[in-house]
Chain A
């Protein structure tokens, strides 16, 4: 079952933090993006991922991934500790990304629910019905899709 992460963090507005945001934007393509891409590719769990900055006021980490929210949080925290460290360092009230309990709580608190209601019975981080998530391929998992593509010679 595919789940959505709509992690939406308020950015610190002081000059130093905003300058760090500019630095992150500047190095993202060459230094951050490859690290995320490598980890997610190996995970065979994540369909899509992106990081979005909105008017320098919010930063979003948005992904569509498989597995229960609670199951793989530790993988993402461990594998992408420097990335989350850099992002959390810009956000209001963010904990150290090395603290697994705080990381979970902060992720849970700041995951924004999409509108509508999921049609597959998926739950959000707190056990409430998840928001709507459209899937063009009936929520087939990454491995199944990759295997089908391999078989088709794509």
Chain B
């Protein structure tokens, strides 16, 4: 029986790379970055490894490593498509998201507004070994164990070298590439459990409450609410359909500074946190969740006896941030029901920007407040369909909280920052972190830099249809 014709109005999960549709269960990860020298040979490389790329309709539990995904920069895509007359670069520049083809995160036009300044400046990225423009292809890999990771990395590197791919090596990592692990229990280096929230993609366009429109993550189906590029019918839109952008970020976490901050500010919790929870209370105010993942909005004084993973909450009854401060990380990066400013309401008629987040930790655990000089952090992949409207917007909001009305009310200000991720050197922004209470003056902490961006790239994560054209 022949396969049914694809529905041109809805995505086919079989056509989407697995990374978009689900979180892998493998414990070890790596992202290899390559420059493409010869398009023909590179196509051969992709073709030979394509069977390891899972489709979006597969069961992640059934996957055995190595699991691969391919993503491309605009330069990489242009090289591979140079001989494809229907997909010429000039028309691609006109049709595709300009934040992918032109104003990438390393470019001066956007880098400072996104917080990529001082230690996080593009000049310092990729260990200063790799020019952002040299990244053409990223191979995202998941492994069943360390031995498989070592074997598979050697195998794919040999294959890549024979295919004229020059690896952008990162000697900071033991594997010579962005690499790490799924952390035990999901706890990242700052001690918070991650992965509690993930958007439920509305694959069927059902508009069901609690789901997020698939157009937020996939190209090829633009409408008025989601004017996703390419907007014009034609070869580029067909090529991009069921593809996404994978915004890759190497984020270094200063655990010692974070722990010192908690120690120094724990006295602020006196009389507000349950006894013994003062330090965690400060951590919870920064994130908006207790370290175990329970939301502060429901558990303002102490975490529940068992973690509360019910994600169905909003901030409608905490507009002043008395329980969960407005500049806590999760209120900035996932707005839920907070009232956007008028301009942002118009920009986002389908709701505030969302991402599919994938990632892994790297570096050894650190406890205590003395830095050991070893780098640690997270390699994050933020999947979306509109780079400027989603990824860049939230990065801007992290640097300056002028996106929603509540932030303009005292003790807050539109110039404040995300409590965890803000770059405190950003001109015009304030490191002040007010913690208001039902009565009395708000407490105040002065934020420091907890993270540094060590590399960011916007990459195209093509569909299987597009991968077939690239191989």
What total of A-B pairs shows CB separation below 8 Å? 72
User: Does residue A75 face the partner (Cβ distance < 8 Å to B)?
Assistant: yes
Given contacts A45-B343, A105-B98, contact A71 B108 (CB under 8 A): no
Known: A43-B342, A105-B94. A74 touches B109 (CB 8 A): no
Pick the most buried of A43, A78, A79: most chain B CB atoms within 10 A of its CB. A78
Task: Indicate if B427 sits at the interface (CB-CB under 8 A).
Answer: yes
Asked whether, in the complex, the Cβ of B113 is within 8 Å of the Cβ of A71, the reply is yes
Does the CB pair A75–B108 fall under 8 Å? no
Residues of chain B within 8 A (CB-CB) of A125 are 109
Name the segment of B38-46, B192-200, B385-393, B455-463 touching the other chain: B385-393
Given A100-B229, A101-B94, A102-B94, verify A42-B342 contact (CB < 8 Å). yes
Contact of A123 with B by CB under 8 A:
yes
Chain A proximity of B51: nearest CB distance (Å): 34
Whether B440 is near chain A, meaning CB under 8 Å from some CB there, is: no
Closest B residue by C-beta to A75: B343
Using Cβ atoms and an 8 Å threshold, which residues of chain B touch A37? none
- Whether the pair A70, B392 counts as a contact (CB closer than 8 A) is yes
A72 at the interface (CB under 8 A from B): yes
Q: How far is the CA of A121 from the CA of B396 in the complex (A)?
A: 17
Cβ distance A129 to chain B, nearest Cβ, rounded Å: 10
Contact with B along A22-48 (1 / 0, CB 8 A): 000000000000000000001111000
Evaluate contact between B110 and A1: CB separation under 8 angstroms: no
Beta-carbon nearest neighbor of B428 in chain A: A1
Answer whether residue A153 sits at the interface, using C-beta atoms and an 8 A cutoff. no
Distance of A82 Cα from B97 Cα, bound (Å): 23
Chain A hits for B388, CB < 8 A = 70, 74
Min CB gap B2→A, angstroms? 36
Cβ of B95 under 8 Å from chain A: yes
B295 at the interface (CB under 8 A from A): no
**Which chain A positions have C-beta within 8 A of B392?**
70-71
Is B113 touching A68 in the complex (CB atoms < 8 A)?
yes
**Known contacts A78-B346, A105-B98; A100 and B231 CB within 8 A of each other:** yes
A126 touches B109 (CB 8 A): yes
Residues 70-112 of A at the B interface (beta carbon under 8 Å): 70-72, 74-75, 78-79, 98-102, 104-105
Known A71-B393, A123-B109; judge A101-B343 contact (CB<8 A): no
On chain B, the residues within 8 Å of A143 by CB distance are 408, 414
A79 engages B346 (CB within 8 Å): yes
Closest to B114 in A: A68
CB distance from A5 to the nearest CB of B (A): 15
Question: Chain B binding site: helix, strand, loop or mixed by DSSP?
Answer: helix
Mask for B103-126, Cβ within 8 A of A = 1, else 0?
100011111110000000000000
B94 touches A100 (CB 8 A): no
Which residues does chain A contribute within 8 Å of B97, judged by CB atoms? 101
Known contacts A100-B231, A101-B229, A102-B94; is-contact A71 B109 (Cβ 8 Å): no
Q: Is B408's CB under 8 angstroms from A74's CB?
A: no
How many angstroms between the C-alpha atoms of A127 and B98 in the bound complex?
Answer: 14
Which of A105, A123, A141 is B112 in contact with, Cβ under 8 Å?
A123
CA–CA, A45 to B344, complex, Å? 12
> Using Cβ atoms and an 8 Å threshold, which residues of chain B touch A71?
113, 392-393, 396
Contact bitstring B354-395, A, C-beta under 8 A = 1, else 0: 000000000000000000000000000000000011001100
> Which B212-268 residues have a C-beta within 8 angstroms of A?
227, 229-232
**A101 touching B342, Cβ below 8 Å:** no
Minimum distance in angstroms from B241 CB to a CB of chain A: 16
Determine the distance from Cα of A68 to Cα of B343 in the docked complex, in whole angstroms.
Answer: 13
Check if B320 is an interface residue, CB within 8 A of chain A.
no
Q: Is B471 an interface residue (CB 8 A)?
A: no
Distance A43 CA – B340 CA, assembled complex (angstroms): 12
Q: Pick the residue among B231, B344, B427 that contacts A101 (CB under 8 A).
A: B231
**A74 and B345 alpha carbons, distance in the complex (Å):** 11
Do B108 and A43 have beta carbons less than 8 Å apart? no
Bound together, the chains give a CA A127 to CA B105 distance in angstroms of: 12
A70 to B109, CA, bound (A): 9
Contacts of A74 in B (CB 8 A): 227, 347, 388-389
Task: Report Cα–Cα, A101/B389, bound state, in Å.
Answer: 12
Are A99 and B113 also in contact (CB < 8 A) when A43-B342, A78-B346 are?
Answer: no
User: Is B108 in contact with A123, judged by CB distance below 8 angstroms?
Assistant: yes
Chain A residues with Cβ below 8 Å from B389 are 74
- Whether B107 lies near A78 (C-beta < 8 A) is no
B428 CB → nearest A CB, Å: 6
Is the pair A104, B342 in contact by a Cβ cutoff of 8 Å?
no
Nearest first, the 7 A-B pairs at minimum CB distance are A127-B109, A127-B108, A68-B113, A75-B343, A42-B342, A101-B229, A100-B227
Q: CB within 8 Å of B: which residues of A?
A: 1, 42-45, 68, 70-72, 74-75, 78-79, 98-102, 104-105, 121, 123, 125-128, 141, 143
* Contacts beyond the supplied A101-B96, A101-B229, A127-B111: 14 A-B pairs with Cβ under 8 Å: A42-B343, A44-B342, A71-B393, A78-B227, A99-B231, A100-B231, A101-B98, A101-B230, A102-B94, A105-B94, A123-B109, A123-B112, A127-B107, A127-B108
27 contacts between A and B (CB under 8 A): A1-B428, A43-B342, A43-B343, A44-B341, A68-B113, A70-B99, A70-B103, A70-B109, A70-B110, A70-B388, A71-B113, A71-B396, A74-B227, A74-B389, A75-B344, A75-B346, A78-B347, A98-B227, A99-B231, A100-B229, A101-B96, A101-B230, A105-B94, A123-B108, A127-B109, A127-B110, A127-B111
B residues adjacent to A (C-beta < 8 A): 94-99, 103, 107-113, 227, 229-232, 341-344, 346-347, 388-389, 392-393, 396, 408, 414, 427-428
